[in-house]
């Protein structure tokens, strides 16, 4: 078997077990040794209606992004699946129930809509599940069984992950689910004569390297916070950040920490500042609307020089916007939001592993630079799952990064001591002789309010100097190219970068001379590195998921000519093919 690259979808109505089926599919493929990237889409409303879709891309090479076309559709609700038909590859495989409760007219039939190149696998999912397990509820498992048979996925891979998922629910539930799966599997083996032989049978030797786990961006963030020594989490539920709080609510108490659901986002960030003020690593996670409420207190953290870790899981905006859609449109708010000149650190991971590493990193950055650190993710990155070796943080990565005052200054301690770096040693409140004055008013070195012209100027300079100095601890941009002059350079951030890298790789395979630059330090940013990259490029392209081109706005002054913006406000992840098309257009125009 050669290179495998298959995109699969499970689609159903909320309550059909769609997300569960997609999760099991991902786990089984991962257990088979494939690289997996999955992403779920579900309605904003609570259970009961609305479409759920899980998309998974599976391959023998590392999967960087989701692509436009779906090769396999497993339909648990044909009416809901209609919307997926335009995304099917011309030769897709479509699994659907051949015995729905009622006859359907042509207009409502999934089979009537698919293109003729598709292979249809119609089988009585609900009937098989009912006959095998006494209930139709397991028909999502039956559907997976049929899929496994058609694609020659070993049964054991699925049984293993089904057991892992359901064993805690008791043997009755587990048996019912295995029976439901087996019913579909046996049916498929017997009836799917046109099955796609060996297509997803793990090739020998594919399972190499350390054992992989399936992690979502949100789980990686939660795990990273735990490993970094988080003590206090304060939050208010909001999509797509809520799973972080759910995860920590279950796990943080085991480590002696606390999760507190606050009355709103303002109190959440206030409590985070209070926690860090007292010396405990604290964080909150929210999304755009909640972040907007936090901005005043974030600037309080800037002014009072109190650390905070704030995760903004971006979603479609403005306002309540598109709660279950993705967007990268809070960059301006994260970097500039709030009153006054209030520099803060903003970082943005680009994949699930970086969600872990940047969360770990954020605590040290917050402590060392005594400032709010904003971690920018987005719905797509938070909810997508990737299989990867479980990331681990080293001792030095989680060590206390506070710079404490020297004993010699006891009694003469100046909380906002003017230093070259802008970093003033920070005491723990309540320590005798080290009075910690925390105020949102402009202040002098001792912390007492002062509104004089020179003082405000010098204190503002101090705070900016401090944040500019953080560059030495922030990840530098990473370039992916052959080096030298480039026809097109593509700069990206956040969840979009995977699609950028895949597009750039394909462009180079097609003989173009293209490079990519990944930026994870959004503010402050490595202007010199970015400028040097831009200057080697005939054209600079910046794809991002917002309308205004917010990263482009931040860095385009570094280039001698206008950058090309590929700004998309569609609520869905950008595809490599779209970026590739733009790259090819630019390369052709410059040739």
Partner 1 sequence: MAGDHVVIIGNGPAANEAAMTLRERAPEFRVTIVGREHVRQYKPHLLPALVAGKITEEDLFVRSIAFYQHAGIKLRLGQEVVDVDFDTRRIILAHKEVLRFDGLIIATGGKPRIPEPLLVFQDVMMTLKTLTDARSWIDKLARVDCVLIVGGDLTSVAFAKTLVSLGKTVKFMVDEHGFWPLHLGDETRQEVARRLASGGMELVPCRKLRGLARLSADEIRVETDCGRYTVGAVGAFFGLVPDVRFLVRSGLYIEKGVIVDENLMTRYDGVYAAGDCAQVYHPTLRDYWVSIGYRNAENLGRIAALNLIGGKVRAETAPESIFHVDGVDIPTSWWAEI
Tokens 């090739």 belong to which residue? 203
- Adjacent-strand bridge partners of 39: 55
**Of these, 111, 131, 206, 293, which contacts partner 1 (CB under 8 A)?**
111
Of the candidate residues 39, 95, 96, 523, the single one contacting partner 1 (CB under 8 A): 96
Q: Does 116 bind partner 1 (CB under 8 A)?
A: yes
Task: Decide: is 451 part of the binding site for partner 1 (CB under 8 A).
Answer: no
Binding range to partner 1, per CB under 8 A, among 115-123, 316-324, 377-385, 556-564: 115-123
Region binding partner 1 by CB under 8 A among candidate stretches 92-100, 442-450, 524-532, 556-564: 92-100
Q: Compute the distance between CA of residue 552 and CA of residue 476 in angstroms, rounded to an integer.
A: 18
The DSSP symbol for 82 reads: G
Residue nearer to partner 1 on the CB measure, 190 or 472? 190
Nearer to partner 1, 197 or 482 (CB): 197
The half-sphere exposure of 325 on its side-chain side, counting CA atoms within 13 A, is 16
User: Is residue 109 a contact point for partner 1 (CB under 8 A)?
Assistant: yes
Told to check if 103 binds partner 1 by CB under 8 A, we report: yes
Q: How far apart are CA 567 and CA 30, in angstroms?
A: 33
Residues in the interface with partner 1 (CB under 8 A) total: 23
Q: Should residue 525 be labelled a site residue for partner 1 when binding is judged by CB under 8 A?
A: no
Interface mask (CB under 8 A) for partner 1, residues 194-213, using x and -?
x-------------------
**Does residue 1 belong to the site contacting partner 1 (CB under 8 A)?**
no
Residue 106 or 395 with smaller CB distance to partner 1: 106
Q: Within the chain, what is the greatest distance between any pair of CA atoms?
A: 85
Question: Among residues 119 and 455, whose Cβ is nearest to partner 1?
Answer: 119
Q: Of these, 99, 135, 261, 392, which contacts partner 1 (CB under 8 A)?
A: 99
Beta bridge partners, 420, equal none
Stretch that binds partner 1, among 117-125, 239-247, 258-266, 369-377 (CB under 8 A): 117-125
State how far the Cα of 567 lies from the Cα of 563, in Å rounded to an integer.
12
190 near partner 1, rule: CB under 8 A: no
Q: Does 79 bind partner 1 (CB under 8 A)?
A: no
Question: Which helix or strand (DSSP H or E) is residue 507 part of?
Answer: helix 496-509
Can residue 112 be called a binding residue for partner 1 (CB under 8 A)?
yes
> Which residues on adjacent β-strands are paired with residue 9?
55, 73
Of 159, 150, 140, the C-alpha closest to 119 is 150
From residue 73, how far is each of 10, 80, 281, 416 by CA, in Å?
A: 6, 12, 44, 60
Whether 286 contacts 317, CB under 8 Å: no
Compose the 119-158 pattern: x for residues touching partner 1 by CB under 8 A, - for all others.
Answer: xx-x------------------------------------
Distance CA 503, CA 500 (A): 5
Q: 88 or 376: whose CB is closer to partner 1?
A: 88
Backbone angles phi, psi at 126, to 5 degrees: -65, -40
Min separation Cβ 131 and partner 1, Å = 18
Contact by Cβ (8 Å): 71, 93: yes
Is residue 285 within 8 A of residue 235, CB to CB? The reply is yes
Residue 485 φ/ψ, nearest 5 degrees: -65, 145
Piece in contact with partner 1 (CB under 8 A), picked from 105-113, 138-146, 506-514, 564-572: 105-113
The answer to whether the CB of 233 falls within 8 A of the CB of 399 is no
Phi, psi of 151 (to 5 degrees): -105, 10
Q: Nearer Cβ to partner 1, position 123 or 369?
A: 123
Q: Does 380 bind partner 1 (CB under 8 A)?
A: no
104 near partner 1, rule: CB under 8 A: yes
- Token match 């009937």: residue? 127
Does position 189 bind partner 1 by CB under 8 A? no
- In angstroms, the first-to-last Cα distance of the chain is 38
C-alpha to C-alpha distance for 134 and 140, rounded to whole angstroms: 14
Using the minimum distance from each CB to partner 1, give the nearer residue, 115 or 400. 115
Q: Which x/- pattern, by CB under 8 A, does the window 358-377 give for partner 1?
A: --------------------
Residues that bind partner 1 (CB under 8 A): 90, 96-100, 102-106, 109, 111-112, 115-120, 122, 193-194
């Amino acid at each position: 078997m050669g290179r495998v690259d298959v995109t699969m979808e499970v689609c159903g109505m909320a309550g059909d077990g769609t997300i569960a089926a997609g999760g099991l599919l991902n786990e089984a493929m991962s257990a088979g040794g494939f690289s997996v990237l999955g992403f779920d889409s579900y309605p904003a409303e609570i259970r009961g209606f609305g479409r759920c879709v899980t998309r998974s891309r599976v391959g023998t090479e590392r999967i960087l992004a989701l692509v436009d076309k779906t090769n396999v559709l497993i339909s648990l609700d044909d009416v809901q699946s209609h919307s997926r038909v335009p995304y099917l590859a011309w030769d897709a495989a479509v699994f659907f129930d051949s015995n729905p409760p009622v006859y359907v007219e042509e207009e409502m039939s999934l089979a009537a809509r698919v293109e003729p190149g598709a292979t249809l696998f119609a089988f009585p999912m609900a009937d098989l599940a009912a006959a095998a397990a006494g209930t139709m509820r397991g028909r999502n498992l039956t559907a997976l069984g049929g899929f496994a048979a058609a694609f020659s996925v070993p049964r054991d891979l699925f049984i293993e992950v089904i057991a892992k998922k359901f064993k805690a629910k008791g043997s009755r539930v587990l048996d019912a689910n295995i029976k439901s799966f087996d019913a579909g599997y046996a049916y498929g083996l017997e009836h799917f004569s046109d099955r796609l032989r060996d297509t997803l049978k793990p090739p020998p030797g594919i399972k190499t390297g350390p054992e992989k786990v399936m992690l979502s961006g949100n789980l990686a963030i939660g795990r990273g916070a735990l490993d970094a020594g988080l003590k206090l989490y304060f939050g208010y539920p909001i999509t797509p950040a809520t799973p972080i709080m759910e995860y920590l609510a279950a796990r943080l108490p085991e480590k002696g920490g606390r999760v507190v659901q606050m009355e709103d986002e303002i109190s959440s960030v206030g409590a985070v500042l209070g926690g860090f003020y007292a010396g405990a690593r604290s964080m909150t996670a929210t999304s755009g609307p909640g972040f907007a409420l936090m901005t005043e207190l974030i600037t309080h953290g800037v002014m009072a020089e109190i650390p905070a870790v704030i995760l903004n899981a971006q979603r479609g905006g403005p306002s309540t916007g598109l709660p279950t859609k993705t967007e990268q449109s809070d960059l301006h708010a994260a970097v500039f939001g709030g009153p006054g000149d209030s520099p803060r650190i903003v970082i943005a991971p680009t994949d699930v592993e970086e969600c872990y590493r940047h969360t770990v990193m954020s605590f040290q950055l917050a402590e060392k630079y005594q400032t709010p650190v904003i971690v920018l993710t987005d719905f797509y990155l938070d909810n997508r799952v990737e299989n990867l070796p479980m990331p681990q943080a080293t001792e030095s990565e989680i060590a206390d990064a506070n710079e404490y005052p020297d004993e010699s200054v006891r009694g003469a301690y100046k909380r906002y001591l003017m230093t070259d770096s802008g970093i003033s040693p920070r005491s723990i409140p309540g320590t005798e002789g080290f009075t910690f004055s925390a105020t949102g008013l402009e202040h002098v070195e001792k912390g007492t309010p002062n509104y004089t012209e020179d003082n405000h100027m010098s204190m503002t300079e101090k705070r900016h100097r401090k944040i500019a100095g953080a560059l030495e601890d922030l990840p530098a941009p990473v370039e992916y190219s052959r080096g030298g002059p480039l026809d097109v350079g593509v700069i990206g951030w956040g969840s979009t970068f995977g699609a950028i890298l895949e597009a750039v790789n394909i462009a180079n395979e097609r003989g173009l001379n293209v490079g990519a630059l990944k930026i994870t330090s959004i503010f402050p940013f490595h202007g010199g590195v970015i400028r040097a990259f831009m200057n080697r490029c005939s054209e600079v392209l910046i794809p991002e998921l917002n309308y205004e081109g917010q990263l482009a706005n931040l860095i385009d002054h570094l280039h001698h000519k206008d950058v090309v913006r590929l700004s998309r406000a569609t609520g869905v992840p950008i595809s490599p093919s779209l970026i590739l098309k733009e790259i090819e257009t630019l390369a052709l125009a410059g040739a």
